[in-house]
Chain A
């Protein structure tokens, strides 16, 4: 039996905006719920004309795409907003950015015009993981060991108890370098799989295959999200909207 929402019907959605935003500095400790709450307040403070869900406790219509885990920073989080009035995305970017706490920074906003959902344009992430207390040679050796395997089972506590899964197959690319003598950096491209393989799962895998165990917590930052291209780079998920919008107003692609 379908539940009919109570209350007056909400105004129709007349436009959608997609945002790329960053989660930086100490705000990396925000959980997805914390980010969502900050956005709802920021949108109200910025007076963004949001479309709302039906019912007696209407919620602004915000669609999230895969959030970076608590403790991970990100330069590439994505969200889609449904609007009750069309607004200039440049205004929205600036107004919302000003209304959000510093560290939640809105980097890009485009009106949705291209076909296809945002989630369909994202199947991989590029991560930069700082590993204080780990040396580059130790890291390189462990990564070589990992890449030499077909499968590495790891375990993680999820809300449905402990889960075992393969953390190797999702890793498309892993590059090591040294920040200095006592801090190595791992750059990682990982495919989005189910369950999602997160930076800490890859680190667990490095422990499993090579006994690598940093004595200080790793600091992961998501650099990019998008569709994985053959050369290992990721396609900007907002590009189709930008390009189509460009055509709509008759601009050249330059």
Chain B
């Protein structure tokens, strides 16, 4: 019978695996509903280990929204580690949910959220363990619809054969819309089977169905065209954009895990979207426009979330939290409210300016001023113009001085390597910047014992950004540049001992690049890597570049393309990109123009504070930038619950 608990069969295996607590569920605020009570049943998956997947905000939001529906049931599943995978296979147990330990294959829908492309092999493990056909084309009428979402799904082409449908953009309304269609289709006796269900979802503009599109290739390997193969579905599936975040104050009661996870705090997303226009940043491009939650909603969500969880840490999340129009008053208000309690506040923000330091001071009023992070991203002024990160060396030095003067003991500086047009000199300028920072810190703090950490990530060009045409730097190039930089810093006796270096080898970035800009032909590479044991590719100890390179050689070279072709090759303006038929709202001509501006080193302002520069999102998606200040205030805790009701209702009616 479907929907039954497998726990009795699973339990004897748990003492034999590492950290069994991650598989038992039972989290605070988790929900278990009777199977028969639900008309539509969702299984939500984060394709990584529980410790990483559980805190994921996106999944928690959808879990809560779906379970609030009286006739909908949503449970969660995460990737099992190889030790349990082996036992599940040996004892013939399927991929299971952690809530009620039901078989994933029993659900109507399997929604998988991809924050990173390196989770693709884990999707295949889960499908295979669940007994669901790896390829959408092989699935039977009783198999769940496999739906991908998350940022990586903005180019779902590499996993096009493995998923039935893709949700682009914000999931809150999309999952409810999908639920409605599935409910009606099931109630009508499943007319037309799963193909008709997918067609209904596509016609309602809820999802992109890869099987409804055919891709043709030119003799030179480039894509000739991507065309729908049915005339009743939209030719350009588009992203979902949630308007009025105040009407959607989720998560209200975040999950409180029994097992230790990477983030254990009450996170409140204070706004979505970012229009600073950093050209490397896919998140900033695909989540436009900026939509703020107002100070009153933020205050109410923090209070309700702390009560519901017992967490003692609050994080105010967004792509650039210091940019919220009411952030100063939010910071002071929360710091006042929690001054007497043991609740700590954090604002992950890397903006390079004095105001950011002021905010950090406010958030750490009673706490230790340990480390502050700033992200100049590019080593040289020229390169920062290319990527549109408008920070001067003087800004950085001034900001860091302010931080040290206010008692912060350490700064962390974040840079990228392998950016378009980058030369060795650009990267070596990081050493000069760091030297100035250390000098300034010594002056500001009055002592020599100053530390700075330089953290460097490899740049990976992503779809729907101005850099989507760029050639990715070969890993040999980034590795060599970083070695030059490290040698330069080590040779500088003035700062060598004050600077810590953090960077990773460039090879995983190349595979991420392959998956980020790949087309449907890359699916065979993923499958081969998985069949040869590829699992948990986001984890150093599991990632094997050799396995990926060999799979590329085997699957791509017969087609006259290659790993290099997908990664280090620069694309021309007219080349059909694998994701061109998917509408993230951004005007392709604007993206190309911005790419050309990047090559010329021309900066672009933020449309929140300067006139709209027609990136295309607002008119295409029928949305608007929604920012304050609203003039509202942070309500005292006692008044909050009544207040938050008002916010929800008021928001929903606009």
Residues of chain A whose beta carbon lies under 8 Å from any beta carbon of chain B: 6-7, 26-27, 29-31, 33-34, 37-38, 40-45, 52, 56-58, 60, 70-71, 99, 101-103, 132, 216-217
Contacts and interface: CB of A to CB of B under 8 A. Distances in A.
B348 to A, nearest CB: 18
A44 B312 contact: yes
B20 A71 contact: yes
A44 B310 contact: yes
Contacts of B15: 71, 217
A56 B366 contact: yes
Given A26-B11, A57-B368, A217 B310 contact: no
Contacts, number: 70
16 contacts: A6-B368, A26-B25, A26-B26, A27-B24, A27-B26, A30-B21, A33-B260, A34-B258, A38-B258, A41-B310, A45-B307, A45-B309, A45-B310, A57-B368, A58-B342, A101-B26
A216 B310 contact: no
B552 to A, nearest CB: 40
B405 to A, nearest CB: 19
- For the complex of A and B, the 5 pairs showing the least CB-CB separation, nearest first, are A41-B310, A45-B310, A26-B24, A217-B15, A56-B368
Interface in B143-157: none
Contact of B366 (A7, A26, A38, A60): A7
Nearest to B16: A217
Interface in B1-54: 7, 11-12, 14-16, 19-21, 24-28
Nearest to B370: A56
A105 to B, nearest CB: 13
Contacts of A71: 14-15, 20
Contacts of A27: 24, 26, 258
Contacts of B27: 101
A219 B439 CA distance: 61
Contacts of A26: 7, 11, 24-26
A71 to B, nearest CB: 5
Given A7-B366, A44-B311, 19 more contacts: A26-B11, A27-B24, A27-B26, A27-B258, A29-B14, A29-B21, A31-B19, A40-B312, A41-B28, A41-B311, A43-B310, A56-B367, A57-B367, A57-B368, A71-B15, A101-B27, A101-B28, A101-B256, A217-B15
Contacts of B259: 34
A239 B167 CA distance: 61
A30 B258 contact: yes
B313 to A, nearest CB: 11
A30 B26 CA distance: 11
Interface residues of B, number: 29
Given A26-B11, A29-B14, A56-B366, A41 B24 contact: no
**Which residue, of B12, B27, B309, B344, has the highest number of chain A Cβ atoms within 10 A?**
B12
A7 B12 CA distance: 48
B12 A217 contact: yes
A160 B195 CA distance: 58
Nearest to A42: B310
A34 B21 contact: yes
**Which residue, of A29, A57, A58, A70, has the highest number of chain B Cβ atoms within 10 A?**
A29
Contacts of B366: 7, 56
A40 B234 CA distance: 52
B81 to A, nearest CB: 14
Contacts of A99: 310
Interface of B: 7, 11-12, 14-16, 19-21, 24-28, 256, 258-260, 264, 307, 309-312, 342, 344, 366-368
B308 to A, nearest CB: 8
Nearest to B308: A45
Contact of B21 (A31, A40, A45, A102): A31
B20 to A, nearest CB: 4
Contacts of B367: 56-57
A6 B368 CA distance: 9
B411 to A, nearest CB: 19
Contacts of A7: 366
Nearest to B344: A57
B256 A41 contact: yes
Contacts of B260: 33-34, 37
Contact of B24 (A29, A33, A57): A29
Contacts of A60: 342
A202 to B, nearest CB: 16
Nearest to A33: B260
B20 A29 contact: yes
Nearest to A44: B310
B620 to A, nearest CB: 44
A71 B309 CA distance: 25
A43 B311 CA distance: 10
Nearest to A6: B368
Contacts of A103: 26
Nearest to A26: B24
A29 to B, nearest CB: 4
**Which residue, of A44, A71, A217, has the highest number of chain B Cβ atoms within 10 A?**
A44
A216 B12 contact: yes
B161 to A, nearest CB: 37
Contacts of B368: 6, 56-57
Contacts of A34: 21, 258-260
B364 to A, nearest CB: 9
B49 to A, nearest CB: 16
B309 A41 contact: yes
B265 to A, nearest CB: 11
Given A26-B26, A45-B307, A71-B15, A52 B342 contact: yes
A71 B24 CA distance: 12
Contacts of B21: 29-31, 34, 70
A6 B312 CA distance: 20
Nearest to A133: B12
Nearest to B312: A44
Contacts of A216: 12
Contacts of A45: 307, 309-310
B485 to A, nearest CB: 34
A54 to B, nearest CB: 13
A60 B264 CA distance: 17
B24 to A, nearest CB: 4
Contacts of A38: 258
Contacts of A33: 260
Nearest to A31: B21
A14 to B, nearest CB: 18
A201 B12 CA distance: 19
Contacts of B264: 37
Nearest to B23: A29
